[in-house]
Structure 1
Amino acid sequence: MPLEIYKRGSVYWVKGRVEYNGRPITGPYRKSTRATNEAGARDWIREETEFQIRKHVVGEEHALRFVDAVEIYPASPTTAKKLLLILDEIGDLPIGAITGALLKSLGPKLKPQASSDTWWREIVTPAGAVINYAHEFKGTPLIRVKPYDKFERIAQDQRRQKSSRIERVPATREWIEAFCTEADPYNAALVRFMFETAARIDQAVSIEPEHLYPETCQVLLKAQKGHEEGLITVSPEMMAELVALKPKRPKNRKTGKILSLRVFGYGSPTGYNNRWKTICKCAWIPYLSAHPAGRHGFYTELVVRQGVDPVTAAKAGRWSDPNLPMRIYAHAETDEPEIRARFRTKNVQAERAKQFNKLKSKKENENE
């Protein structure tokens, strides 16, 4: 019997089998379509029938389309928004027909004015995650995509006449002090906290009064970027500064909802931007966002300026791989003329040593 719908409560269910050329090609169905109207239930039957026929004719590996894989993928709202754009291009393609080169080619087509980093982050990464999730649960082919190389990145930057990788400038102690001189207590404490702990801005603004433990000088940070929630230790001076702040209830600018008490008074990781720009302007210092002021400043201060070994600094900043911060967060602060001067100094010293040895040998010969 072909698939038929019937109603159970407010939801339509389906029973029967999928048939192809008058012959059943599946086992018996008795499952919900999750549709609350007849049109939705019949759409479910049509899509399921098409899938099972493709599976019967070409095999499951080629039957599952990208759109089918998206339906079973547990996407967040942000990822789902990115996938909608991709679905318009490759939604009907079988998973087995999608290659890394195909995914990379979508970048110039879908976002011609974006950088190659954006292509990777907003197109290749979410699409690859969907395909590999289907591999895990449906046995479809796994996909590995070679990242865009520097030549592809440079070529795209030239086409759009804009650099995609601007060198970040880490905060210095002098910058921090100048900032805090003009800042209100909340923003002064915020920038000092991130500079001292390498906390991310979202972690910092999410701190609530109950996350502070003054007796042990510890602060509870939320989980982020693959790291679990955990306690970090701060200096007694930092803890005293945090405890002295009167917590505020920020408002969600999109919904108008009043949020829980926050130590720094911000309700989102972008709320500080305009205020910091004003502070930097008043202090006559260049504007730095939270990331270079915090994580970049923290690692450069420890490793480059104070000579702390990279492994210790990485652990203190909660980086699991010491190579990552060395590659991204450590910024050299010796200029090129100074480096050249060191070579010249060594040559002069070597010449003087050579002259001294000649004089010494001459005196020894005269004494003999």
Structure 2
Amino acid sequence: MSLEIYKRGRVYWAKGWVEYNGRRIAGPYRRSTKASTEAGARDWVARETEAQIHRYVFGDEPRMTFSDAILIYKASPKTAKQLMPIVEEIGDLPLTAISGRMLKELGPKLKPDACTDTWWREIVTPASAVINNAHDLKNTPMIRVKSYDNFERIAQDKRRNKPSRVERKPADKEWIDAFCRAADPYNAALVRFMFETAARIDQAISIEPDDLRPAENKVRVKAQKGHPESWITVSPQMMDELLALPAKRPKNRKTGMLIKPRVFGYGSSTGYNTRWKTICKRAGIPYISAHPAGRHGFFTELVVRQGVDPVTAAKAGRWSDPNLPMRIYAHAETDEADVRARFRTNHVQEDPVQTPKQQKSKKE
């Protein structure tokens, strides 16, 4: 019999033989497909059948596995950590046997309590990068994965009883002023710098004294998110505030060694969190993290509150496409009740216009 699938626990298995022109060419099989859905199992059967027929017709040839592809991929420490559990699951599989559906199904298996955005960012994206890097270097098959749709996202949010994609609240001038009144000079300057320039937290905390050009009111920010290193212009008041901060040498949390002096005194992009929560509590304001305080606050302030055109605002915030910040970073601030009120009208009963005939009848 040809390959058939059956469920064993939570996973589908395959049994039988791979046949070609009525002849058994591989098997017998009694193997897990590692798929939790019937569609995923059938996809595995199709790929395994195709691979065995290719082997039968053209003979054995070296097939690169996912573990082989990892060895030729230059992964950052963060990506390498994400790839470790993925290798344990699909490391022995040849790249030809890995499908987009299979990568998506790793999400609920490896991170059952995470949202679909996390699955995509920490599982599908790094795994796809490894496979497509092998395609570029070794001409192995390329992979394209369809994103999780809204139905999948909502279903997962319901299973974990927690919403994803909660709208971030951007900072405004009142929040910034209240924060700065309760903050020390370093954190006050940090939040004002990000609110004024749309710099990311990692770019801001990485600024060193040599990155300042006081005569030109320019600050150098490092490359990030596909954008090159650049010099950005700040207000004279902002430059004075930066120059007034004695540079600090923070410690590297992993090695304990002191790193180069930095303007804001932080050594990592998460080091500010605890301090900011304390400042917000002292100021009596809701806690807003660096990203919505900076980039979200910057774009919303310019476009929504001050009416600056999106193209100009996007260029000032170093977005290459103004549609991206309009879709993600611009937050509507009009109350829904106010919008509905715009449709209300006061119905005033006007006197009907009388025709000459009606006027004559009334006089008689």
Answer yes or no: same fold by TM over 0.5: yes
Identity of aligned residues (%): 70
Superposition pairs for residues 25-44 of structure 1, below 5 Å? none
**For 1:360 and 1:304, how far apart are their aligned partners in 2?**
49
**For 1:224 and 1:359, how far apart are their aligned partners in 2?**
70
C-alpha change, 1:359 and 1:112, in structure 2 (3 Å) is same
Aligned to 2:189: 189
Aligned to 2:117: 117
Aligned to 2:323: 323
The structural deviation recorded for 1:361 is: 9.9
**For 1:209 and 1:174, how far apart are their aligned partners in 2?**
29
The structural deviation recorded for 1:95 is: 0.7
Aligned to 2:74: 74
Superposed CA offset, 1:123-176 (max 9, x none) = 100110011111111111111100101111111111111112111000010000
C-alpha change, 1:92 and 1:181, in structure 2 (3 Å) is same
Aligned to 2:218: 218
Instruction: Please state whether the residue corresponding to 2:247 is helix, strand or coil.
Output: coil
Superposition pairs for residues 129-148 of structure 1, below 5 Å? 129-148=129-148
C-alpha change, 1:178 and 1:67, in structure 2 (3 Å) is same
Aligned to 1:26: none
C-alpha change, 1:343 and 1:247, in structure 2 (3 Å) is same
Superposed CA offset, 1:231-265 (max 9, x none) = 00001111111111111111112211111111111
**For 1:188 and 1:305, how far apart are their aligned partners in 2?**
22
Structure 2 unaligned residues grouped into runs of 5+: 1-54
Match of 2:253, as an amino acid?
R
**For 2:255 and 2:174, how far apart are their aligned partners in 1?**
39
**For 1:134 and 1:288, how far apart are their aligned partners in 2?**
41
**For 2:197 and 2:65, how far apart are their aligned partners in 1?**
46
Match of 2:267, as an amino acid?
G
- TM-score with structure 1 setting the length: 0.79
The structural deviation recorded for 1:189 is: 0.5
**For 1:339 and 1:293, how far apart are their aligned partners in 2?**
26
Superposition pairs for residues 261-272 of structure 1, below 5 Å? 261-272=261-272
Superposition pairs for residues 1-368 of structure 1, below 5 Å? 57-59=59-61, 63-344=63-344, 347-348=345-346, 351=347, 355=350
The structural deviation recorded for 1:355 is: 3.9
Aligned to 1:4: none
**For 2:350 and 2:129, how far apart are their aligned partners in 1?**
68
**For 2:323 and 2:61, how far apart are their aligned partners in 1?**
44
**For 1:242 and 1:144, how far apart are their aligned partners in 2?**
46
Instruction: Please state whether the residue corresponding to 2:216 is helix, strand or coil.
Output: coil
**For 1:80 and 1:245, how far apart are their aligned partners in 2?**
37
C-alpha change, 1:218 and 1:92, in structure 2 (3 Å) is same
The structural deviation recorded for 1:343 is: 1.1
Match of 1:238, as an amino acid?
M
- TM-score with structure 2 setting the length: 0.80
Match of 1:57, as an amino acid?
G
Instruction: Please state whether the residue corresponding to 2:59 is helix, strand or coil.
Output: helix
The structural deviation recorded for 1:86 is: 0.7
The structural deviation recorded for 1:339 is: 0.4
Q: Which has the higher helix share?
A: 1
Superposed CA offset, 1:270-312 (max 9, x none) = 1111111111001000001100110000000000000111111
Superposed CA offset, 1:5-61 (max 9, x none) = xxxxxxxxxxxxxxxxxxxxxxxxxxxxxxxxxxxxxxxxxxxxxxxxx8983445x
Match of 2:171, as an amino acid?
A
Instruction: Please state whether the residue corresponding to 1:228 is helix, strand or coil.
Output: coil
C-alpha change, 1:64 and 1:182, in structure 2 (3 Å) is same
Match of 1:89, as an amino acid?
E
The structural deviation recorded for 1:359 is: 7.1
The structural deviation recorded for 1:93 is: 1.1
**For 1:156 and 1:293, how far apart are their aligned partners in 2?**
29
Instruction: Please state whether the residue corresponding to 1:307 is helix, strand or coil.
Output: coil
The structural deviation recorded for 1:193 is: 0.3
**For 2:355 and 2:273, how far apart are their aligned partners in 1?**
69
Instruction: Please state whether the residue corresponding to 1:215 is helix, strand or coil.
Output: helix
**For 2:100 and 2:355, how far apart are their aligned partners in 1?**
71
Instruction: Please state whether the residue corresponding to 1:268 is helix, strand or coil.
Output: coil
Instruction: Please state whether the residue corresponding to 1:120 is helix, strand or coil.
Output: helix
C-alpha change, 1:239 and 1:360, in structure 2 (3 Å) is farther
**For 1:228 and 1:361, how far apart are their aligned partners in 2?**
76
Match of 2:94, as an amino acid?
P
Match of 1:189, as an amino acid?
A
Q: How many residues align?
A: 303
**For 1:270 and 1:361, how far apart are their aligned partners in 2?**
79
Aligned to 1:47: none
C-alpha change, 1:131 and 1:337, in structure 2 (3 Å) is same
C-alpha change, 1:361 and 1:252, in structure 2 (3 Å) is farther
